Amino acid sequence: MAVTEVTSAEAFNTSVKEGAPVAVHFWAAWCEPCKHMDVVFAQLAAENPHAKFLRVEAEEVPDLSETYSVSAVPFFLFFKDGKVVDRLEGANPPELSHKVALHVAARSPAVTAGGFAAAEVIESVLHSARTASYSTPPAATPATASSTDPNTQPEQPSRMIAPPAGSDKPKLSPDLKARIEALLASHPVLLFMKGSPSAPRCGFSSKVVSVLEKDLGSAASGAYGSFDILGDEEIRQGLKVYSDWPTFPQVYCKGELVGGCDIVLQMHESGELKELFVEKGVVGGGGSGAAAVASEAAGAGATGAGATVADGKVGGEKGLQERLQALVSKSPTMLFMKGTPEEPRCGFSRKVVDALRSEGIPFGSFDILADEEVRQGLKSLSNWPTYPQLYHKGELVGGCDIVLEMRANGELKAELAG
């Protein structure tokens, strides 16, 4: 069976739910390793006509990339009965062949990498990869490969800009980093998008433009700027490394990444996006500090997430209060964030994680995106309207700005050591 190109989440979801085993390759046009893996992927598809082999351009279907945590390409997913059963990150032809044999092929999974007719194709790809100019230091050898055989070493997944020798971390040139930081400093709120606010060139960019204009209100004309990443490939690829965020659009506030389309829309619906703009001084809040923002959010209306806090439901439920108190005291230092420390889902959460780790401070965490009751209830408990929130021995330390300021002043480690 030929490889099928998928261009929408709807088509993807239909394909993986139809019952046949499915292998998916998330790729990018700029990524050389993806081109080599395409050769192997196509050969494996030809050998397994009963199964489905799909290609998804990661940047063009960003909701799928975010759903399946695709942060680097090439990236492969394997489905059975509509559920993910395995994944593979990086250009590793023998391991890809092995996983296809294990999860997709009709024949016995005991047939391992190199046992297919695709073996010659795999060897050809490995030879090309070893001699290609984009080659990077080898990653850890997978369990199915020999640790002494250089032919079975996988390549690192590409992240747009080649890492320095001896490191797997991408690095921006000083000039490109300076360009990005100059752009971020140009407006309090900056949207990197496809197209322009008046003529968006993708649906996700259009949605983000709409909610920014709603939440910024009359301040939008002076506080909000945009940059068309389709007009500057260097910025487009470099920004992914700078932010460690693989898709667009991307929204920044005062130089800090807020998130992509899903996160911005979710923050808008919960009222957190406007609260963030008030807290950062981008729009007026009718008062000062977190208490003023909380008061504004509580009185904003009788519907939506804010009404749950305002109508006394959160404050009046003894069980929830006890749960919140138990959570903030679960670890001596506790971080309530969006995502996990390994996979933060907003730039502010990532900054706090990095600050704690750089100081060697152990901490527990809670993903507030996974529990709306805790997410809204904690705002009332702490009288602090935004996330992340850091607690020590059950007491609120503060949000991102406070934590970063304490770290810069040398106070963070001392404060959390007691």
Which are the catalytic amino acids? 31, 34
Residues 6+ apart with CB under 8 A from 155: 33, 90, 91, 92, 129, 135, 136, 138, 139
Cis omega (within 30 of 0) on the bond before 249? yes
227 within 8 A of 183, measured Cβ to Cβ:
yes
Q: Which residues pair with 225 in a beta bridge?
A: 190
Q: Which residue, 331, 239, 245, 190, is CA-closest to 66?
A: 245
**Does residue 414 contact residue 343 with C-beta atoms inside 8 Å?**
no
Q: How many CB atoms lie within 10 A of CB 285?
A: 21
Q: In 3D, which of 125, 68, 67, 65 has the Cα closest to residue 95?
A: 125
User: Reduced to 3 states, what is the DSSP secondary structure of residue 5?
Assistant: strand
Query: 162 is written with which tokens?
Result: 């080649």
Largest CA-CA distance found in the chain, in angstroms, rounded: 70
Nearest C-alpha neighbor of 71 from the set 83, 82, 59: 59
